[in-house]
Amino acid sequence: SYVLTQPPSVSVASGKTARITCGGNNIGSKSVHWYQQKTGQVPLLLISYDRDRPSGIPERFSGSNSENTATLTISRVEAGDEADYFCQVWDTSSALVFGTGTRLTVL
């Protein structure tokens, strides 16, 4: 089965840029979706189809996807961005696959 690997944690100072990676075999050929989950809350769609932001998502959030790594970039990080972030794809057998999740800590 297809595996998506994320770093367990990323720490960044407030106002700086955070990059969260999602590694998978030839993930660049798939569409990657990203979710944010704050403590005690329901996951929220953050980025769809590699780089599209749903309505209401700030421009500070952006995505890219190439070869074996997809990346979620958060610019000008704020304290309110502290959350778990998950990447997601559909694999070739129509199974939904999530990444292992990354905890973002804002210093």
Partner 1 sequence: QVQLVQSGAEMRRPGASVKVSCRTSGYIFITYNIAWLRQAPGQGLEWMGLISPYKGKTTFPQRLQGRITLTTDTSTSTVYMELRSLKSDDTAFYYCARNLAGGPLDSWGQGTLVTVSS
- Which residues contact partner 1 (rule: CB under 8 A)? 31, 33, 35, 42-45, 48-49, 54, 86, 88, 90, 94-101
Indicate left, alpha or beta for 28 from its phi (over 0: left) and psi (-120 to 50: alpha): alpha
In the complex, the smallest distance separating the C-beta of residue 68 from partner 1, rounded to whole angstroms, is 20
Q: Which amino acid is at 76?
A: R
In the complex, the smallest distance separating the C-beta of residue 56 from partner 1, rounded to whole angstroms, is 12
In the complex, the smallest distance separating the C-beta of residue 70 from partner 1, rounded to whole angstroms, is 13
Which of residues 25 and 41 has its CB atom nearest to partner 1 in the complex? Answer: 41
Which of residues 17 and 41 has its CB atom nearest to partner 1 in the complex? Answer: 41
Who's near 105: CB < 8 A, 6+ residues apart? 9, 10, 11, 12, 82
The two tokens of residue 31 are 């569409």
